[in-house]
């Protein structure tokens, strides 16, 4: 029996949602890590049920960070631009593999004058979502700086990155394809997973956040299991490199783009 109320039926994740582009994905496996699946089945997830993963959303002003969050959390879209003051957050509750899991989506201000305030909220993020406008090359170029700023407050090896192109509906297929080439390049440099969405039409918005929830859940459970197993063994340090999947233990390379 869980103290949390059950989540909405449309926030239940039973299978790992697929990535958007294989060229720039965190991993392209089709299902959850077997350790995670079995831990969830056996209800060995520990305190994950209480856990809320912090997601920060950064990017240039008026690229549509707030719209993206509002489309997913409230299913609304406001055409009028209203600058976010400092930060805002939305809660979104999921049930992943039968385990309650919440995302706290921190919407930050893109305006330079709020940067000093917004950046104090960067710390402790499990995932960083960097948004750019697919119709504005400059906003894509600036994503490197946004990433660098966000990583200053976080451990680069423990954080999942997403590069999200917004306002896809405003772009023609030809224009979009050109932009996607550049965006994939940037995403590969950052080792981020690339997505392209439209908050106006809702295209890919739900899929994107489900992917974010699933991947943060997966890494969160794995981290939890690693902690508890280390505690069980006591003084012995467990070498995890004999795991079947090496992506877990391979240390994340430092992104090349923000030295």
Partner 1 sequence: PLPRPRSPLYPSNPSINFVGAMAEALRRSPPPVYRMAEALGAELRRLSARFGPDAVAGLVPVVVRLLELLEAQGDPAAAEAEAPEAENQSQEDNVARTEREVMLRLKEVVDKQRDELRAQAHEIVCKSRDLEALQEQLQRFMARNEELRHKVAVVQAQLRSVLEKNSDLEAEAPSPPEEPQHQDAGRSPAHCCFSKEELQQILQERNELKTNLFLVQEELAYYQRELLNEERIPSLFLDAMKSTIKRQRKKIRAKMLGTMEEAESNDEDEGSCATGSVDAHPHPPESRIRSFTFPGKSSPPRLLSALSAASGSGIRTAAKIPPHPAAPEPGKSSTPWNRSWSRRVIPVPAPPTEPHHPPDPMGMASLQHFLVAQQHWLLPHGW
Point out which residues bind partner 1 (CB under 8 A). 1-6, 47, 49-52, 54, 85-89, 91, 102, 104, 116-117, 120-121, 123-124
Residue 22 — φ and ψ, nearest 5°? -65, -30
Cα–Cα dist 256/106, whole Å: 26
Q: Which is nearer to partner 1, 63 or 87 (CB)?
A: 87
Q: Which is nearer to partner 1, 93 or 144 (CB)?
A: 93
Q: Which is nearer to partner 1, 90 or 207 (CB)?
A: 90
Q: Which is nearer to partner 1, 77 or 89 (CB)?
A: 89
Q: How far is the CB of 197 from partner 1 (least distance, A)?
A: 25
Instruction: List own/partner pairs for 186-190 with CB under 8 A and 24 or more apart.
Output: 186/140, 186/143, 186/144, 186/257, 187/24, 187/163, 188/23, 188/24, 189/144, 189/255, 189/256, 189/257, 190/130, 190/143, 190/144, 190/147, 190/161, 190/163, 190/255, 190/257, 190/258
Q: How far is the CB of 2 from partner 1 (least distance, A)?
A: 5
Q: How far is the CB of 123 from partner 1 (least distance, A)?
A: 5
Q: How far is the CB of 134 from partner 1 (least distance, A)?
A: 30
Quote helix, strand, coil % in the chain, to nearest 5.
40, 20, 40
Q: Which is nearer to partner 1, 117 or 246 (CB)?
A: 117
Q: How far is the CB of 121 from partner 1 (least distance, A)?
A: 5
Q: Which is nearer to partner 1, 85 or 246 (CB)?
A: 85
Q: Which residues of 18-32 are buried (b: 16+ CB within 10 A; e: fewer)?
A: ebbeeebbbeeeeeb
Residue 92: strand, helix, or coil: strand
Q: How far is the CB of 30 from partner 1 (least distance, A)?
A: 30
Q: Which residue is listed with tokens 């060229």?
A: 23
């Amino acid at each position: 029996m869980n103290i949390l109320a059950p989540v909405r039926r449309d926030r239940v994740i039973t299978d790992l949602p697929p990535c958007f582009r294989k060229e720039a994905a965190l991993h392209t496996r089709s299902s959850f890590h077997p350790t995670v699946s079995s831990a969830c089945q056996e209800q060995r997830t520990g305190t994950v049920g209480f856990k809320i993963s912090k997601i920060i959303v950064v990017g240039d002003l008026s690229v549509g960070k707030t719209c993206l969050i509002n489309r997913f959390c409230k299913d609304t879209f406001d055409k009028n631009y209203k600058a976010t003051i400092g930060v805002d957050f939305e809660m979104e509750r999921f049930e992943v593999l039968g385990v309650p899991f919440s995302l706290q989506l921190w919407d930050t201000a893109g305006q330079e004058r709020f940067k000093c305030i917004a950046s104090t909220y960067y710390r402790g993020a499990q995932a960083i979502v960097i948004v750019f406008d697919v119709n504005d090359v400059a906003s894509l170029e600036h994503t490197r700086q946004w990433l660098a700023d966000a990583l200053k407050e976080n451990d680069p090896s423990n954080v999942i990155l997403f590069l999200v192109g917004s306002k896809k509906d405003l772009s023609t297929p030809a224009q979009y394809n050109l932009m996607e080439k550049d965006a994939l390049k940037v995403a590969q440099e950052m080792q981020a997973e690339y997505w392209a969405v439209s908050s106006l039409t809702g295209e890919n918005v739900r899929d994107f956040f489900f992917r974010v929830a699933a991947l943060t859940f997966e890494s969160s459970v794995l981290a939890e299991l690693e902690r508890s197993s280390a505690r069980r063994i006591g003084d012995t340090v467990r070498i995890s490199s004999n795991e079947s999947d090496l992506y877990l233990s391979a240390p994340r390379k430092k992104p090349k783009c923000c030295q």
